[in-house]
């Protein structure tokens, strides 16, 4: 079968692009530990205020020395604010939303999750460097979306 030269060039170019995109996924997964959030756990957004865990979102130390940070995102803030966690210890974030879909991205780290009403997003991260980290909402959630920010304070150790 005869294939025109230009058509052949574009076929190879399209194939090469697919390989480049797959390579980008593999590199980010390998070097930056980027992974799709996958935690299938539900929570009723209508009764969030009386929920034993999400009713009083807070940072708690677990018996094994790890830290749990329960966060509720809502128009247009995060609770608790600020979120204060220690450096050098694994912090498990458990995040949900009380209204619409929000984002939860911690600047300068690979933490980036969605806060979805009805679902719990969970990931664990250890912060090596103490300091203040800006949390931003990266899902359009309403008129004040651009102003929805939070603060993560990592304490202890050397800055
Ligand atoms: Cu919350 Cu955008």
Task: Give the residues across from 59 on adjacent strands.
Answer: 69
pTM: 0.79
Across the range 138-152, mean pLDDT stands at 96
Q: Which residues line ligand 1 (CB under 6 A)?
A: 76, 102, 137, 139-141, 145, 148
What tens digit of pLDDT does each residue of 24-37 get?
989 988 887 776 66
Segment 44-53, tens digit of pLDDT: 999 999 999 9
CA distances from 125 to 29, 69, 75, 128, 141 (A): 15, 11, 25, 10, 25
Cβ neighbours of 155 (radius 10 Å)? 11
Per the DSSP assignment, residues forming a β-bridge with 111 are none
Q: Give the model's confidence band at 159: pLDDT under 50 very low, under 70 low, under 90 confident, else very high.
A: low
Find, among 62, 66, 87, the residue nearest to 157 by Cα. Answer: 87
Residue 137 Cα, ligand 1 centroid: separation in angstroms?
4
Q: In ligand 1, which atom is closest to the CA atom of 115?
A: 1
Question: What digits encode the pLDDT tens for the residues 82-122?
Answer: 999 999 999 999 999 999 999 999 999 989 999 999 999 99
Which pLDDT value is given to residue 14?
97
The closest-lying atom of ligand 1 relative to the alpha carbon of residue 139 is 2
Q: Which atom of ligand 1 is nearest to the CA of 138?
A: 2
Kind and range of the H or E run holding 76? none
Can you give the pLDDT at residue 21?
96
Q: What is the mean pLDDT of residues 68-80?
A: 96
CA 55-57-61 angle, 5° bins: 125
49 CA distance to ligand 1 middle (Å) = 20
């Amino acid at each position: 079968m005869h294939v025109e030269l230009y058509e052949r060039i574009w076929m190879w170019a399209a194939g090469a692009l697919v390989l480049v995109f797959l390579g980008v996924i593999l590199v980010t997964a390998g070097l930056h530990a980027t992974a799709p959030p996958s935690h299938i756990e539900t929570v009723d957004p209508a009764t969030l205020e009386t929920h034993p865990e999400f009713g009083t979102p807070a940072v708690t130390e677990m018996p094994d020395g790890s830290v749990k940070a329960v966060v509720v995102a809502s128009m247009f803030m995060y609770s608790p604010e600020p979120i204060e966690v220690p450096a050098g210890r694994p912090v498990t974030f458990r995040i949900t939303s009380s209204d619409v879909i929000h984002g939860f991205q911690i600047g300068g780290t690979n933490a980036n999750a969605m806060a979805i009403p009805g679902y719990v997003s969970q990931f664990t991260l250890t912060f090596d460097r103490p300091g203040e980290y800006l949390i931003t909402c990266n899902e359009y959630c309403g008129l004040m979306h651009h102003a929805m920010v939070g603060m993560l304070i990592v304490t202890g150790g050397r800055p």
